[in-house]
Structure formats: C-alpha cells, structure tokens
Structure 1
Amino acid sequence: MTSTVSDHLQLDSWIGETARAIRQFDWSNTPLGAIDDWPQHLRSVVQVMLRNALPMAVLWGEEGTLLYNDAYAKFSGARYPRILGMSIVEAWPEAAEFNRNVVDAGLRGESLSYHDISFELAREGESAEVWLDLHYSPVASNEGLPVGTLAIVVETTGRVLLERNRASAEAAFREASERLQLALNSGAVRGTFVWEIRANRVKGDERFARTFAFTDDEVDTGFPIERALAVVHPADRERVSALISRTVRDGTPYRAEYRVGSEDEGWTWIAASGRCEYDADGQPRRFPGVIVDIHDRKIAEERLKELTRGLEDKVSEAVAARVAVEAQLRQSLKMEALGAMTGGVAHDFNNTLQAISGNLQLLQYLPPDDSRVPARVQAALEAVQRGAKLASQLLSFARRQPQSPVVINPRRLFDELRELLQHAVGSGVSIATLLPDHPWNFCVDRNQLENALLNLAINARDAIRGDGKFTVACSNETLDAVACEGKDLRPGEYVRLTASDTGSGMTPEVLERAFEPFFTTKPDGHGTGLGLSMVFGFVKQSGGHIAVSSTIGVGTTVEILFPRSGDHESAPAETPTMTALTGNATVLVVDDDPAVLASTVAILEAMHFAVLKASNDAAALSVLESGLGVDLILTDVVMPGRVKCADLAEWAFAQARPVPVIYASGYTRDILSRDGVLRPNVTLLNKPYRAEMLAREISTALQRAAQGFIADMYVHKTCAFCASI
C-alpha cells in the first residue's frame, strides 16, 4: 500500500508541459507498457529528467524508447510532440547509426561524451548543420542491470559559429595589418601634405586631394587648416585638433587615426603621421605629414570587437545557466536523500504518535486523582517533543537557502546528526562516531555539510546491502608543506572528517571515476551519479580537500579536510523553565484550528488569565476595535481571509500604549519571511510549544511592554528572527 501511494504522488509531482504529455500518452502500445506498471527506477530517472533545466531525454530498453523534458522538446522543434514514445532511431533518422550505438552502449553499462560534435539535422523542413555537446549515462534497474540511457543535450551551434567568425575576423585583421605594413614600406599611401603654419595654408599632392575631396587647384594654392578639419568626422574632430596642437606645442610626433568624408559619400578611415618643424628662434614653421588608408583594418577591428562582445555575452549566459542548473541539481539531490529517509522517518513518527495516543487513551480510564496521571501526561509531552525535533530536522534539511558558513563544533554536529544518519542508512546498519577529547571548530555551510554527510551515508547503505557498519570520525590535523602537496591546501591546522563503511568497495576503475558527474554504480537504480560530485564541489568551495580510498570486499573511506576556525561556536539555547505569572492580564487568542484554539485557551485559563478568542484575524480585529481591553495578542501566522496577522500587529503597534503580539507558527519560512522583519512589539513562538515556553514568552512580553522596553525588544527579537530565516 505504501508503494502505491508513493508512486501515485510521484506521478502527480511531475510538472510541466512535457510531464503532462507523458502522463496522458498511451504507453500500453510501447515497449514500456502502461504507465501505472512502470518500475520505480524508471519513474525516478524520469522525475530527475523532468526537473532539470538542461535538455534531457531517457532512451529506454533495446528500442531506445524516447521520453524527454521541456527543454529537449524545445530543442526538437517541429518534431515535438510527435516523437514522444518513438524509438530514438526513428525519431532522428538522419542520426540513426549514431543513436543505435548510443542505445547499445548504454545497455552495456558504458558512458559516452561528445563535445562540439557536428550533425546534419532537419529543421523547419531544411537540412541544417548543428553542433552539440552530448553526454550519455547508463540507467540501472533495481538489480543493478543497465536498462536504459540518460541523455543530456547542449546545443553549441551559436558558440561554434561565433568562434569560427572570430577566427575569420582575426585572420582578416592580420591580413589588413600586413597590407598596411606593405603599403607603408612600399610608399603606397593616400597622400602627403604640408601645413605652412604662419600662413595657415595646407597644401598636398593629388592623392591627398582625392582623399579629402579637394580640387587640384585648391591643394596647389593651399587652404586654411580649418577646411581640412571640416572634412573630418564630427566624432573625431576635437581629438584630431588636440593632437595637432600638442605636436605644435611640444614637438611630439603626430599620429592620429580618424575618418574623413561625408554622410552622403561615406566615411573612410585613415592614419595621419607627421611632425612639426621650427625656425631658429624655436617658433613653429611648417608641419609636413603623410596619410595612409587603414579602412579595411579598422572595419576588421570593429567586427572583431563585436564578435568578442557577442562571445563574452554567450559565455556569461552559459555560466549563469550552469550556476542555476547546479543549484537545481543540489536541491534535487537533497530531495533524493530525503526520500531515502522517508521509511525511517515514518517509522519514528508512527512510534511517536503511538506513544501520544497510548498515553491519552490510558488517561481516559484513570480517575483524575490517580497517581499515574502525571507520569502519563509527562510521557505524552515527551513524545510530542520527539516529534517536534524530527520535524525540525526535516525542515532544516529540506530548506532551499543560500550558502551561509557558520562555525561548527564537531561533537555537537555528530550528536545532532546521528539520528538523521540512522534514518538514512536503515536499522540494519550500525553507526559509530569517533572524536578526540577536544575537537577543533571549523567554518562551512551547515546545511550543505549535512547534505554531504547524508549522501555519504546513503552511498554506504547501498554499498553494504544489508547488515554492516558506518563510521563517522573526526580528528585534529596539522599539515606541513609535504602533507599539503597535491591537495591544493596551505600548511596549517585542519579538521579531518572521515566517513567509512564495511560495504562491497570499489574497483580501481570505478574509484577513478568516483567524482565524475552522472557516473553511478548503485544497484537500486535510484542514483543520479551526482552525489559525490556535489560533495566534491561543496568541499572545494569551502577551501577544503576530499579524497576517496576503497578496497573490494573491505569497504570505502571518504576523507574531508576543512581549515580550522579559531572562532567560538554559539552557545546552545537553554531549556526554558516555568515562569511565575500574576494572572491579571487579558489575552486575545487567534487560531483557525478549533483544537489548537480550544487547548490554548484552556492552558491560559488554567494559568489564571482572562481569555478572549477568535477563529480568524478578521474576527480578532473586530474584537480589538470593539473597545474590549486586551493586554496581549497570541495569533497563528497562516490563516484564511483578507485580514492577516500583520494587520493585527499594525493595529497593536498603533495604540497609544502598544499591545505586545506573539506570532505562533509551525514553519518559520511561511509568509513572515517575505519581509524578514518583525514589528518592535512582536515575538515569534514556534509550534509545538510547551506551556512553560508559552508562559515565559507571555510574561516577558508583558514585562517589556510595562517597562517601555519596546526598542530593546526590536533589537533582540528582530535580529533573532531574521537569523532564523
């Protein structure tokens, strides 16, 4: 029954246009058979494919039956959706021989990769040459046998053509430069000129006249330099004038590249060179020079710049896409690990619920004054705390959040993660932890570190295949230059984390490819081949080093080194104790869950508070606006209706004497995190909470309100809340 529900949920989780097409397609006439009969390993690889932003396809069985995601559908063009469910050989007949080899290689358990491979593909009714990066990885069944191939397609046509055009432009640029040098060396110039500075007359030869569109008579008799500058392109004119003035003033050689001509006739690039001659008194007398045609070279330069900018944009887009895909893959891998723990988590949750249910049922049969009642109540409360702890661990692990390094104490890490690791490896695998008396702290992203250790635990579980042992160890290491050689590390102090198992081990050939993306040997068919590659990337980004050793029949050991941190770990929160209350305050309780509302009201009344209640925020606002005196508002965060809890906080803060507000939430990443800031009179209380915690928060909020410490509450509570999200 559990498997059927899980499969159904998995199908419902397939989102996107292609996912809908797969669900609606009649697979009964294909080698895959009806979709409800698909094996779990096929569903798992299809789900990974559908969630990916890159064009991906699954080629299943000996026929290579084709399934693909939205990005692949877009790549296939007019073939979509016709080719869904077809053999890959029939879907792309122009590449039939190539695809036949891919299918056969995948069924032999071989991986293939091709870079910038050229194909002639039919597109929009015409044959076109395209270039592709292709990566193929075998997909294994539950028994470890290859049953299909996972294909990743990245079209590189744009980049290849840009690189080819850039090479052509560079060749043209070199050719133009060579022609320029030949022209200069052979005297093939566009004219010579001389500027008689005192008379302000520019004269030149007939080639100069043609270049500047003057008549032969004009260049023979001469004309003011202002007329020559008038022929220069407006965008270049000021710069050319400044260079001429500098040469006349300082005697520096004159060298300028600019355009001459007109809007109607077009502009031509020339290079002008010259020098200024002075008389015996040091006064400027004449300015001879030569002009050379550089039009072809400048056009080639501009074309090269445009192509370079285009290539840089393509590279930037590719890098951004890769970053986005890596983030998606990390989250997909995390969800895969979460799925692997589902069985153990369900077992523990059911045990917790049974403990609560059993104690509550027993209370029904016991008289109120029975001596066993307090013990049964305490046992039920402890079971609730165990369930809350498990929920908190799952939420922390599943959360999508940016990298945020924190200082970690290995002993506390192992203590808090041990239960989650046990869920990952299953009851048949025992877990051992080894630590020194005083382990050093280190600084990494806690969420990604947990994800890495969980994936190592899942790998160990799959390698053990039954009963065995998984050991997580920590040691303090001081590495010298020799020990750091080949590790991309600097000599210094490091924390070594070691994860070892008593599994089947890896052959030297498999060990060599252990960190290769999409490479997997997992026998259950659920592996994506991304686990160790993601762990490798996380360790390197954190400034550490990772190494794997393995022996067939003995097991595998993964060693990770992180730099030691000299900072102190934050002290753990203290367990709250019951707070004495005066019992003379009025509390408005707001919650849309009748059971939660009734229990909360009963608890507060037992604490001798006067209690008002409302089943939604709109009803609560009506109570507040009616004029009834309220000293504190306790409200759930997420409730239906147009009036929100934030509106209650705004009302409370706007009063002459601000009314303190306590938000009660079962999930700190709900609508509160959109703003990331609480009002100064607002406190956050996480569900499920004990009566002692509720009493403490109410007492603190009332005392601060009474003493006017709103500013102090804003500094501490807001920062604490922002850090928690």
Structure 2
Amino acid sequence: MPFTADDHGCPGWKGEMAERIRAYDWSATELNAIDEWQQSLVAAVQFVLGSPLPLVMLWGQQGYMVYNDAYAEFAGGRHPYLLGSPVEMGWPEVAAFNRNVMDTCLAGGTLSYRDKELVLLRNGRPEDVWMDLYYSPVADDSGAPAGVIAVVVETTGRVLTERSRERAEAALREANERLQLALNTGAVLGTWVLDVKTDMLTGDERFARTFGMAAEQARQGVTRTATGESIHPDDLEYAHRLTTESIQTGKPYRAEYRLRRADGEYIWVQANGQCEFDADGAPYRFPGVLIDIHERKIAEQALRQLTETLEQRVTDAVAARALAEEQLRQAQKMEAIGSLTGGVAHDFNNVLQVINGNLQMLAAEAGDHPATQRRIAAATQAVKRGAQLAAHLLAFARRQPLSPAVLNPRRLLDGMSEMLHHALGETIRVETVLGADLWNVLADRNQLENALLNLAINGRDAMRGEGTLTIRAQNLLVRGRTDIPDGEYLVFSIGDTGVGMPAEVLERAVEPFFTTKPNGHGTGLGLSMVFGFVKQSGGHTLIDSVVGQGTTVQLYFPRCHEAETVEFLDQTEAPAGGRETILVVEDDAQVRLTAVEMLAQLGYKVLTAPDGDAALEFINSDVPLDLVFTDVVMPGTVKSVELARLAAARSPAVPVLFTSGYTRDEIFHHGKLDSGVTLLSKPYRRDDLARKVRGVLNAHRAALVGGPAAPSSAATRVLLVEDDSPSREAMGELLATFGLQCTAVGSAEEALALAPAHRYDILLSDVTLPGLSGDALARTLRHAQPDLRIVLMSGFGEQADIGEAIPGARLLPKPFDIATLRRELAGGSAQTEAG
C-alpha cells in the first residue's frame, strides 16, 4: 500500500538535493508522485541523501536518477537537469555502459569497477576520466529488484598522478638496474689506489682512459692534484673533503661528482673505496672503484624536476583561485551596487518627470510674466541637474541606453579643446599627445565626451588648480595580459600631476558616492560614471596612481573597423502636435497625469492605462489607436515588450514609443538599444515629447505606404539553446518578432528533457555549452527527428570545431545581424555548411 510523505519521514531529509527531490514532479515517471512512493523507495532515497559519498539511485527500467549533494558536485554542468532523467538520456555518451548496468542489477546481479576508464563530455569536449564504480540492486516492497544504487568516486587525479609517478620510478629503477648490470658487465670506469703517504694515485687501463692519460702513466702514478683537474670545479672541494674524512675516520668513501671526459663533456660518476690502516693505526693505502652513474643521475633530476613542477602548479592553482575569488567578490559587490543605484535612478526620474512636465505647462500658461518665468527657469535648471545625477547613476549601473556611433578620436578631442579650456581654467597646462593613424571607436559621443571631461576636472581638482594635464590617444595591441583581454584597442589616457591616491582610496575609487572631496565639492559619481560607461561600451578602465606624483586613468575601447559616422545637427523647431489618438501606459499616477496634460496641450486625443494588462484591453478592442506611449518597467503580467509586439500585430499595426528613467534589460542589450526601438528618456520636456511623438507617427505612416512586408513564419517552432541568459532572452524576443514559436533553454540537458514530449521544426543552438555540446545535442535530436532543421551558432566563426559533419546543418558565425538570422531561419541563407 502507498505511504504518505510523513509516514516515510521525508521531512527528515537534509541538504539541497533533499529540497530538489521534494519539489520535483515525479508523477510523469515510473516513481509516481512522491506521496505514493513505496516504503522501500523512501528508505533507499534516505540512504542516498545520508551518504557523504557520491551516490545515485537509478529507479525503474529507465533508470530515473535520484542523487545526493556529493553526486551533484560530480555532475557539474549537468546538475540539476539529471534529476528525474533516465540515465541513458542524462549520460548519452556512455548509454551502452549504463544499459548493461541496469540489465545486470535489475536481474539481481552486482557490478564493481576499480579505476574504470570512461570518456565523458565536459565543457563540450570528450575527456578521459577514471572512476571507482559499485552497482547493487535495490528491492521494492515486494522484494523484487526495482532499482540500482551506484557509488561513483572519480579517481582521475589519483590515476594520473600514480601513472606519472610510476613512469618516473620506472625510469629510476631502470637506471639502477643498468648500474648493477654495468658493475657486472664492464661499466666500471676504472680502479685506483691512493698511496696516502706520497699522495700519489695509480690506476688500471680503464682509469687511464677515463682521465685521458696513458696507461703507463696511470700505472706509475700521478698526483691527486692532477686527477682533480678533471673534476667539475663545483664538485672538487666536496670530493676532496669526503676523501679527507674517510682517511681520518676509516669510514667507507662514497662520492658522486661530475668528471670531464676527453671530449670535454661532463658525466656523473660514483667513486667508492675505503682507507686501509697499518698495524700502528696509520693510514697508508686507499683503494677504490669509479662507476658510471650518468643515466641514473639524469633520471633522478627528471623526477625531482617533476616533483617541483607539480608543487609549483599546486601553488599557482591555489593563488589563481584566491585571485579569482577576490575578483568575483568585487564583481558581485559592484553588481549589487549597480542594481541598487539603477532602481534609485528609476524612481528619481519619475519624480523629476512630474516636476519637469508641470514646469513646462506652467511656462506655457504663465505668458510673459518675468518673475514667474524666472522662477520656472530656476526650477527647470534644478531638474536638469537632478537628471544629470540620475544619468550618472545609470552610467555606473550600466543601465543607460546608449546611442553608439563610429567616432574619430582625433576629431573628437579637437572638438573638445575649447570646452576643456573653459572647464580647466588658465592655470592648468594641457598637453595633448595623439598617435598617428588613430583607430576609430564605437561609442556614444555625448557619454564619451562627458567621461573625458569628468576625468579632466578630477585631474584639475587633484592638482588644486595648478599643474599639467596630459591627454593621450594611441593605438595599442594587447597580447598575453591578465587585466585586459587580447585585442586591438584605442586607448584614451588622462594624466595629472596632482596629489595621487593611496592604495585604500584607489581600491574604492569607482564606487558611487565615494569621494575624498569636502562636502559640497562633488557627488562621488564621476569615476563611477566613467567606469560604467566604458564597461557598457565593451571597454576596460585602468587607474594608476602614486601619492605625490599624480594619477593616470586609461580608457580602453575596442578598435572599430567601420568608417566614421557623419553626424548632422537637428536644427528644426519643436514640431507641433496633432489630432491622433495616443494610448498612455504608465503605472505612476502623477507621471501619467503629466504626460496626458502635455499631450492634450499638443492637441492629441489621449487614452490612459495604469499597466500592460489594462492597455491590452484597448489593443484587443475596436478603439482606434495611432500610437502607444508606454513606460518600459511596469507591474502586471503583460510587460512593455509584449505589449509592443501585440500592438504591431494589430490590424492596422500601432507603433510604440517607449519611455523610462531606467530600462533594465527589456529593450536594450549589450549596451545599446534594440533594433527598431524608439526611447524617450525621463525626465523629458514637452518639446522633446512633441518631437518624438511626431517622428514616430510620421515614420510609421511612411512605412505603411512603402515599407516591405515581414515574412510570415507563425507555424514554425524553434528550440533555442543558449547558456548566456541575456543573449537567450534577447534572441527569444527577436524570434518572437519574426512570428516564430520559440522555446528557450540554457543547456543541452534541458533540451533533451523537453525533446520526448515536444516536436520542433528548427534547432537553433550555440556550439559551446556547459556539459553536452551543441553539435552533440544536434546529433542526438536529429537521430530522433530526421527532418529537424539545425542551425548552429559559434563565436569561433567558420573555424568552429564540431567534429563529424552533420548533414544539412548550418553554421552561423557570431556576431550576426537580424537580416542574416531571418534568412537563415527561413531557409534561404548561404551560410557555411556545418562540419
């Protein structure tokens, strides 16, 4: 009979895996719902969870996987997707091995392996691993085998270490065996006798050859000093010292040193002997033998070097891990601060929008009253300062929507010269050093100018109004550095001769609101804004400072190979309003009211909705609409991006104008607005609103007259596999705008879990994934669904290694544009055949 969870003692399960097992929906597997589990199954799970060893239980004919925390760590990127999966699907590369395990143990047998060698896919590549494996059957309540308990202990590190040590020991053992053989078969380099009283050495013919002398000379005798000339200078004192000790004490003599042969090369030799004493106890004769031990010493040195290398590698690995952990802590800290400041900026901009909108309307109603207009102007300036403060917060949080253009650094700095002169004053000497043929950069012009100006003002303050500020721009090729990825960069450098920063200040320099200036002399947002803007633009910031010598800030921007963007100034007057109907979607009541009043003053008919859910009712109704003006971040189930998609699908289509003080990631990715998105940033003026609204309406009208129709692919189902979360979300939204039905997952294991119950027309997958690679996933799914179209993406381009060719599969090099992706998914691209 079934038992309840309380009967089984499930609440006593401990650890992360216990929580995951409770939360998993087992009803679709052979195990049934957890509250219907057999007592034997519950007991087996309790045993698995309680073990410190990596344990996994495979239940039923399919071997549904239930495992503990230790096994989860072993599973790596496949966890938690292995939980509840059939073992053959979870580990497809060793499916045949696991099928034999299931068949054997469910028949009542057991299996065990010691240092079993397997090939597993890790980080998308096959890897040789070794494991100790023990498999035993688990009985159900009737006593029949119903599952398998597996103990999995990876021994790869030990096996590789033992093999390395065995090879070194074998080499040493072989050298010693050769030494013993040499003693017996002629590798003795000679025998000698020292006459202690005369200090003369006599030797045999082999001794003579070893020291490069005539045999007759060796028989007659040579001085010990003469033979010492052939000993390596570094070993001579050591050899003589041991000889003296042996003569004085009578102990056996054994010395290893390097001896120069006749060809000038040194070999290792071992001299063995023992001094003999006369009846009075005086030393008189010292016989010995010289043995060739060169190969043995070389083997010992190789073993010693291997040991030292292993120790150094361990030391380096520990140091690298400590550095990575520190960098991770710093990154998490800065990300947390960024999220907080971004949220603050959002609410602050909403408040500023209400103030700014009402000031604009008051200005229109006040006429020419000078005092009133003066007060309105002063308040408007305060709003601008507040908006600039919010913009700095968003820049640090990397949440500001950028409008990048291709810029020429020389022309950019030339255009800033007058502005810098006014900002720095007459007492600051400015030196500009520009390299030849400077590379272009892709960046937001206004934000880059603000960043350089901020750094220049910081330098002026650090020099207390007097000194030299050096502005440089140069091309730089980075290779093999740890702080900057390899590549081609255009580097802006701002250096001052000021007071410099100590280490504790330098460490916090880019944190928002951190400043060493007195109250009222700075917000502490300058460097944080620069840091966030450069990071959002794909670049890197380095700060070098020495107390008493000054500070230099370097901004690294990736080289842009495109031609400089030609920019035109907008000299048109603020456009008039119109008579169209606009739906305003805004959750903040005061902001909504302000927008309605400004649009009404411009002559538009206005409808309102407090959130996306209410706005959807208008979209689905027959109410005529000409434009949707919506906040980006809203409560409710219908988000702004989804609302825009539904408005575009309306007949006739309705254009959308977004507004926000904080965009998060809804409408901009990788530091810039998504293609086709029009954004009016808060706080905005009435003239700004009028111009944006009129521009969107006019552009939409022109598109209806002569724009191309988008292809219809509503019935196509796409399985998107991408492990990078922002890229996955952006790609999913883009596919939705194509009219495709998209299912997005973060790993091949998730995709395999969905495959049995769903059918897809296209697999769109990154090649490099955690765990199973994209090409391995494609082969597995193609085997089950031969008509599945396969499109693989890779940052390695056409050089991506996917092994054996996949018939009909396409390879899409990253980065790619929207048109290329649309053609590829429609089946009309000429991209590279995968393989």
Same fold by TM (over 0.5)?
no
* TM-score for both structures, normalised by structure 2: 0.34
